[in-house]
Structure 1
């Protein structure tokens, strides 16, 4: 235990968190909110109901929200789209970090129709902001290769950023643990029939061909039990990912992504799946095995082969 704690503590100062893993995760969580804004009108997002007027601007957390201080909801939406687009493309992460938090928290607090993904996107934006504020690159996709410079200021920056990354991992672990334990208090989850009722839910249930396939599966005792109890087991396994080994974390990552892709396909929770995929990247992708998901390096290699070869050293710096 002492050795593990010592390794973890030293890693706070050694590991460089400004990788394409962080970049892709940050872009995904912002993209989910951008999709929500782009495909819904302000009348839908901020529809008043019997309980409150919309946007909700009561309380100290809401009164300073973007949609409560903007001249109109349309102007607020336009500004939010611009900020989220800049975050998605990765431009000037240091300068878009706090606007990203403002937009994400404002959307969750002010919209009349929200779901769990909006809340998680706001939390991730808040917890990832110290990493972005300490990111001096013009684009958060820029490859950072070569040795890590050893100096006092660099160690402090890495310590702050890696502490924020650890808090994100702890938060995501708690999300899955709470989801699993909370289901155990519901009889339908315990007896293995809950997924049957979700598939037949008039609001979230699938339609068309998706409904035909889903109903065929959940109409069998084996299918509905496997899907229901399998969800509980997977959520508990994902919660365990906080202390799992690097190879197991990578396997859990892909299992979690497929799990949320399945939910998106069957229940239509697409933006929730995108948000959770970003959260799973920050949570489970092992730092020890691969510091980067080198998407741009892969594309560079593909194109450079046509024009005179490829030298990986070209990607450094």
Structure 2
């Protein structure tokens, strides 16, 4: 009898696409923000980049008071993030990706939830990426489990993606439960306040569509409670059937795309989209290596050929007269 050993290979284009989205979100923050916007004094927080304690490890501390130096460092980080987004050599780009995300989160004056979740995801991506044998993270995973070292890296990588899923579950569970004690969320009026807010409300070109919806009781209630339903569904996504997880994935992607449109938080939307892909889609391939039973290792006894038998022809009986 044969025995099977299953090895989960985490190196697929699912986690590759997630890395691309997270990298593009951070690259967009840097590319479309000026140096004067990224690095400036903030009330009660001081000057940025803040280079004290752990934040002094930020790459931007190399040119703290040099405007030209900060400009060059900004575009160098954008270039590195675009290389990460291209999918080239995940093994070589994983640690630099996490370091740039840390530098952005710790060094700029306008960091938000997108920069924070991008940092967390990029750090968890290190575990599968360091053992990724592919030249591009868009390629198919290896067709076999390979050496013992590769199987070890596969286990480490799968563990990293499992921790990433758990992190996303915690994020969505917290996001949903934290809203419930506020009256505006459980009475279904919260989105009226958010959509009309001068800082986070819908831009003028979108307000003409959003305002009529939030001005009706059913419209504002639907826009308020639907995000809660999506968040709690994503929080328990690993427990759901794959078909339901795919539906929750598309709902979550549409939800964060809507946040990007309405509030302009595109780095947050892209980072969360990357996390949703890993949360809801199978992120690896299962390779079965068959190992023969010891009793099956002995060669089988040769079978002597059997002489062919001449075919016989059946004739009908001959009828005699009598």
Query: Do Structure 1 and Structure 2 share a fold, with TM-score over 0.5?
Result: yes
Question: Which residue in 2 is equivalent to 1:155?
Answer: 151
Q: When you count helix as a share of all residues, which structure comes out higher?
A: 1
Shift of 1:150: 5.3
Inter-partner Cα distance in structure 2 for 1:208 and 1:80? 33
Whether 1:56 and 2:50 are equivalent positions in the alignment is yes
Inter-partner Cα distance in structure 2 for 1:27 and 1:190? 36
Inter-partner Cα distance in structure 1 for 2:178 and 2:8? 35
Whether 1:84 and 2:78 are equivalent positions in the alignment is no
Secondary structure (helix, strand or coil) at the match of 1:265 reads: helix
1:207 is aligned, of 203, 219, 222, to 203
Q: Is the 8 A contact 2:25 2:271 kept in 1?
A: yes
Whether 1:122 and 2:119 are equivalent positions in the alignment is yes
Q: Is the 8 A contact 1:249 1:286 kept in 2?
A: no
Question: Which residue in 2 is equivalent to 1:194?
Answer: 190
Q: What's the Cα RMSD here? A: 1.9
Question: Which residue in 2 is equivalent to 1:28?
Answer: 21
Inter-partner Cα distance in structure 2 for 1:136 and 1:154? 9
Q: Is the 8 A contact 2:11 2:283 kept in 1?
A: no
| Residues 116-125 or 206-215, more deviating | 206-215
Shift of 1:50: 2.5
Q: Deviations over 1:229-284 (max 9, x none)?
A: 11111111110103222222111111111111122222222222111111101111
Shift of 1:74: 1.5
Shift of 1:79: 2.1
Question: Which residue in 1 is equivalent to 2:304?
Answer: none
Question: Which residue in 2 is equivalent to 1:181?
Answer: 177
Whether 1:247 and 2:243 are equivalent positions in the alignment is yes
Q: When you count strand as a share of all residues, which structure comes out higher?
A: 2
Q: Is the 8 A contact 1:101 1:126 kept in 2?
A: yes
2:275 is aligned, of 255, 264, 279, to 279
Secondary structure (helix, strand or coil) at the match of 1:63 reads: helix
Shift of 1:145: 5.3
Secondary structure (helix, strand or coil) at the match of 1:185 reads: coil
Shift of 1:287: 4.5
Where has structure 1 moved over 6 Å in runs of 4 or more? Answer: none
Shift of 1:154: 2.6
Q: Is the 8 A contact 1:46 1:55 kept in 2?
A: yes
Secondary structure (helix, strand or coil) at the match of 1:14 reads: strand
- Which is higher, the Rg of structure 1 or of structure 2? 2
| Residues 278-287 or 220-229, more deviating | 278-287
Q: Is the 8 A contact 2:7 2:145 kept in 1?
A: no
Q: Which segments of 5 or more consecutive residues in structure 1 lack a partner in the other structure?
A: 1-9, 292-317
Shift of 1:151: 4.1
Inter-partner Cα distance in structure 2 for 1:137 and 1:234? 35
How many residues are paired up?
Answer: 278
Q: Is the 8 A contact 1:120 1:275 kept in 2?
A: yes
| Residues 135-144 or 157-166, more deviating | 135-144
Question: Which residue in 2 is equivalent to 1:238?
Answer: 234
The higher relative CO (CA closer than 8 Å, separation ≥ 6) is in 2
Which residues in structure 2 correspond to 1:70-109 (within 5 Å)?
70=63, 72-109=69-106
Shift of 1:224: 0.6
Q: Is the 8 A contact 2:31 2:75 kept in 1?
A: no
